[in-house]
Amino acid sequence: MGHLDPETEPLDLTVEGARRILAHVQAEWPLEACGLLGGIGRRVLAVYPTRNELASPVRYRVHPEDLIRVIQELERQGWELVGIYHSHPHGPPAPSATDVAEAYYPEAVYVIAAPVHGEWRLRAFRIASGAVREVPIRLVE
């Protein structure tokens, strides 16, 4: 992993994983939904929907009980926290100022789901030291 450029290495997400994220964020609309992505490197092997502790249309915080449960599951599987996803129920599919300020996991990929012209989109970003860089999403089988 060490030689790969973290700025350009894509996030590998299965079609089924993308469907799970989109089903979750659509079910929670008009509130923000959030969840965690487990796997290895930039390869997502499991999607974990979590509760938004803030139950808000404009903010999210992964419920601490869910965070602990998922971290324990990742340890059991020998996986890492690859990413964190959340929705922007009213767009846009890009990190907000709050998302940048509260990005506590610089190694994680932040996936944002938002409706664009009525169709839900997923985009991924790396947020480190206040800098935002888009990470391409590669849909895999």
Q: Which residues are catalytic?
A: 32
- What separation in angstroms does the CA of 65 have from each of 62, 69, 130? 9, 6, 27
For position 80 contacting Zn ion by CB under 5 A, the verdict is: no
Nearer to Zn ion, 48 or 60 (CB): 60
Residues 6 or more apart in contact with residue 96 via CB below 8 angstroms: 88
Q: C-beta of 52: minimal distance to Zn ion in Å?
A: 11
Residues 6 or more apart in contact with residue 8 via CB below 8 angstroms: 136
For position 12 contacting Zn ion by CB under 5 A, the verdict is: no
Site string for Zn ion, 89-128 (x = CB under 5 A): -------x--x-----------------------------
Instruction: List 34's β-bridge partners, or say none.
Output: 50, 86
Instruction: List 81's β-bridge partners, or say none.
Output: 38
Q: C-beta of 40: minimal distance to Zn ion in Å?
A: 26
Q: Which residues lie near Zn ion (CB under 5 A)?
A: 96, 99
